[in-house]
A and B are shown apart, each in its own frame.
Chain A
């Protein structure tokens, strides 16, 4: 009964935000709202909504499965500990990405960064994504993109991935990265140009996706 009331409250919140900002709340947002309001069981839904995207982001940033798992776990615990501070109607994902990125930077500063594979490619044995290799051509393209992104400065890679891979708006990415909208646009553009230079043969067909 309580869960139903909380779900209803979350739905109303989504409607309010949808009306006022034109941005519907995601499942993760609604789950976090229920969790902050007192539904202890809602954190499982928060995990389900947040963890896969965060893990993909962290794995692409670190290319280190152990570190990505460690930072993911820390990030989720930070989200849990911020339960009492979660703002009604706030979005979870930009905040979660910001926490993950901060913890990742701290982790890397502690000096345990492992050397990338010589070809900059993810170790297939460590990439546990089921369904990632369904089409050989897509796999090859993904590997080539990963290789190019791995050579970019971390700031450009993060900006590009937050916008292109994770679907954040430029403004949200700017908040996550703690910089200006103009700087994020520039970083993402430079990353895109690097991809265009390296993958000119195939990127032409994808150009319509750039915004």
Chain B
């Protein structure tokens, strides 16, 4: 069934649009890819720079624990980035449910894998952590996540006409996973409370920040 045949746009519309397009040159896909790679490289280089500044891993934890958890959180970061930031095959991005899952499951996955690693080295759970240690890890998780978050936001800016807040939440969670990985390599505490407050809570916070970023940056912007 059809309500009515499609009307034809005004005759001069085509000329006006094509003239506007000619007057506003934009990058081709190859140029855009190079730009995006550069932006992402700079964003992640910022995190690596912070890591170098902090020096070696936390001395009080077994190297095997740090390596195993680092690998697990690296995997979480890669999956969250692939599913939450990349658009797959559609210009409208992955289905909303995928982005919701990324936003919800990323902090959960970080917590579960940390607890799993701690069970393999039970002595790590007994290491007490002070409030200062919690705060330091929260701050550094945010700092480590800042570069990826800004880079993801730049790469996806103005690209989501449907659910930018959801995309922003997924981007926030993915960058949070990278932030959590960055500080985990230097952290000397593994108690459940510390992981929850110092490592997982900032990822949740970054997810909420991502909602704002989605609204302000990733949403399609009408130009004057």
Q: Which residues of A contact B (CB under 8 A)?
A: 36-38, 43-44, 47-48, 51-53, 55-57, 59-60, 69, 72-74, 76-78, 80-92, 94-95, 98-99, 101-103, 106-107, 127-132, 142-143, 145-146, 149, 161, 164-165, 175-180, 195, 203, 206, 209-210
Interface: B18 (CB within 8 A): yes
Given A99-B220, A165-B3, A38–B30 Cβ distance below 8 Å?
A: yes
Given A36-B28, A77-B223, A103-B220, A47–B3 Cβ distance below 8 Å?
A: no
User: Is the CB–CB distance between B5 and A85 below 8 Å?
Assistant: no
Question: Which among B17, B24, B220 has the highest number of chain A CB atoms within 10 Å?
Answer: B17
Question: Which among B4, B5, B27, B31 has the highest number of chain A CB atoms within 10 Å?
Answer: B4
Interface string of B94-128 (1 = CB under 8 A from A): 01100000000000000000000000000000000
A97 vs B17: C-alpha distance when bound (angstroms): 17
Q: Please name 28 pairs of A and B residues whose Cβ atoms are closer than 8 Å in the assembled complex, sorted by A.
A: A37-B28, A37-B30, A38-B28, A44-B18, A48-B14, A52-B6, A52-B8, A56-B7, A60-B3, A73-B17, A76-B21, A77-B21, A80-B20, A84-B33, A84-B35, A90-B89, A92-B91, A94-B91, A102-B220, A106-B222, A128-B7, A129-B8, A164-B3, A177-B162, A178-B96, A195-B1, A206-B1, A209-B1
User: Is the CB–CB distance between A142 and B26 below 8 Å?
Assistant: no
Partner of B223, one of A44, A60, A74, A130: A74
Judged by DSSP, the binding face of B is: loop
A residues near B162, Cβ cutoff 8 Å: 98, 102, 175-178
Which residue of B has the minimal Cβ distance to A100? B161
User: Is the CB–CB distance between A101 and B30 below 8 Å?
Assistant: no
A37 vs B107: C-alpha distance when bound (angstroms): 38
B residues near A81, Cβ cutoff 8 Å: 24, 26, 158
Find residues 20-41 in chain B having any chain A CB closer than 8 Å to their own CB.
20-21, 24, 26-33, 35
Which residue of B has the minimal Cβ distance to A157? B3
Find residues 31-69 in chain B having any chain A CB closer than 8 Å to their own CB.
31-33, 35
A residues near B4, Cβ cutoff 8 Å: 56, 60, 129, 132, 142-143, 145-146
User: Is the CB–CB distance between A91 and B91 below 8 Å?
Assistant: yes
A36 vs B28: C-alpha distance when bound (angstroms): 5
Smallest Cβ distance from B193 to chain A, in angstroms?
38
A142 vs B95: C-alpha distance when bound (angstroms): 34
Partner of A87, one of B2, B89, B95: B89
User: Is the CB–CB distance between B24 and A80 below 8 Å?
Assistant: yes
User: Is the CB–CB distance between A161 and B89 below 8 Å?
Assistant: no
Interface: B81 (CB within 8 A): no
Which residue of A has the minimal Cβ distance to B14? A47
A128 vs B163: C-alpha distance when bound (angstroms): 33
Which residue of A has the minimal Cβ distance to B20? A77
Interface: B131 (CB within 8 A): no
B residues near A179, Cβ cutoff 8 Å: 96
A residues near B28, Cβ cutoff 8 Å: 36-38, 83-84
Smallest Cβ distance from B9 to chain A, in angstroms?
4
User: Is the CB–CB distance between B32 and A127 below 8 Å?
Assistant: no
B residues near A103, Cβ cutoff 8 Å: 161, 220, 222
Smallest Cβ distance from B155 to chain A, in angstroms?
9
Interface: B159 (CB within 8 A): yes
Partner of A91, one of B18, B90, B163, B220: B90
Which residue of A has the minimal Cβ distance to B157? A85
B residues near A92, Cβ cutoff 8 Å: 91
Partner of B161, one of A98, A129, A209: A98
A195 vs B1: C-alpha distance when bound (angstroms): 11
Given A74-B223, A77-B20, A51–B14 Cβ distance below 8 Å?
A: yes
